[in-house]
Amino acid sequence: MHLPQLLRKVFVPAASLASTAVLALGLVTVAPGFGSAASAQGSSSCATPVTGAPSGPATVSAASSAFGRVLVVGSGENSGCSLYVLTSDPYEATTTSGAEFACTAYCATHVWPALLTDGAPIAGPGVNPTLLGTVTRTDVLSGSTVQQVTYAGMPLYQFSFDTAPGQTAGANLLDSTVTPPGVWYLVEPSRGRPAPGQALIEEETAPVRTTGAPATVLAVSEDTGLGGVPFPVYTFSADSGHVSACLGTCAVFWPPVLTVGRPLAGPGVDQHQLGIIVRPDGTHQVTYDGHPLYMFRKDAYVPFPPFDQKPSINGAGLHVFGGTFETVPPIS
């Protein structure tokens, strides 16, 4: 079984936090090979869960990766471990009042350990100190009030599958278990934007939910830190020209396909049809034939028992947020 499939065993749409915890802990049982590899790291600390409040300030630094320069933990036993943001977490979070975090409790202590700090965080090499901040959390450690480090207003997390410094297993991971769902991205240090790397657009064949008939459509290779899993891409009829109309809540349910640099075309995809637009937040969104592309969070699937789900196309023809989302057929 491939590692991307194993990862989905952690991020199953769960009815409760307890079920998420059981699934995460169950990885050692269902994937002994992966468990052995993780154990072999021995002194590795990137996967260490958060069990208590920190005793000093956290340091954030920048380091090179396959996704460009990204934020990492800058000091302590987790030094060099990659840092991530979740697109469905609140922007400009300054207090817990009115801020509903998507990754809480077990998610923020074991699966995606929150980067906590005691005191103002310290800017290491390559980090813009004006973008560093903190947010007060009461939903991470039961009965405790802690400060989580933020960058450009977004809370920072580590990933439990990064078993050694420099690993980026959580890059571009579409997570349907957090509420609301979102995409985990590495973070570029200059302005705090997502660091998705260079997007790959390819073909995928999967059944359409409404008919059950298979369809070959364009897809984006996501979960790229784990080798890539294709997700169908969609266009949105409410978009005008090269301007995206899917912002805010719409972009949480239909995440834009982001890229750094010109997107790449896989077999059967016309490279000349691919382009980019600049979204209001400064990120670059992939376009095809001039139309901005999106994913749909309900296209995530769980391929193991008792679910045994297969890839499917669930968003074709949905009329929401003032327009209709449609898949993109490859050019014959």
| Same domain flag for 208 and 259 | yes
- Please check the confidence at residue 153 and state whether its pLDDT lies above 50: yes
Query: Residue 255 burial (CB < 10 Å; 0-12/13-18/19+)?
Result: buried
- How many domains does the chain contain in total? 2
Phi and psi, residue 67, nearest 5°: -105, 15
Which residue range(s) make up the domain with 228?
200-327
pLDDT score at 304: 52
| Same domain flag for 112 and 166 | yes
| Same domain flag for 230 and 305 | yes
Average the pLDDT over 123-134 and give the result.
97
Residue of 263 and 306 predicted with greater confidence: 263
- Please check the confidence at residue 170 and state whether its pLDDT lies above 60: yes
- Please check the confidence at residue 106 and state whether its pLDDT lies above 70: yes
Which range has the worst mean pLDDT, 29-38, 69-78, 256-265, 301-310? 29-38
pLDDT score at 137: 92
> Residue 20 falls within a domain, yes or no?
no
| Same domain flag for 103 and 210 | no
Residue 245, C-beta contacts closer than 8 angstroms, at least 6 positions apart: 236, 238, 239, 321, 322, 323
Q: Are 30 and 304 a contacting pair, CB within 8 Å?
A: yes
| Same domain flag for 213 and 290 | yes
**Residues 181-199 as b or e (16 or more Cβ within 10 Å = b):** bbbbbbbbbeebbbbbbeb
Confidence band of 45 (pLDDT split at 50, 70, 90)? low
Q: Are 294 and 323 a contacting pair, CB within 8 Å?
A: no
Q: Are 268 and 203 a contacting pair, CB within 8 Å?
A: yes
What is the C-alpha to C-alpha distance for residues 103 and 180, in angstroms, rounded to an integer? 9
Average the pLDDT over 47-67 and give the result.
94
pLDDT score at 8: 41
> Residue 19 falls within a domain, yes or no?
no
Neighbours of 270 (CB within 10 A): 12
Residue of 97 and 205 predicted with greater confidence: 205
CA dihedral for 109, 5, 28, 37, sign (positive or negative): negative
- Average pLDDT over the chain reads 83
**Residue 252 parent element (H or E):** helix 249-253
> Residue 257 falls within a domain, yes or no?
yes
What is the C-alpha to C-alpha distance for residues 289 and 284, in angstroms, rounded to an integer? 16
pLDDT score at 268: 84
Q: Which of 186, 217, 237 is the last residue of a domain?
A: 186
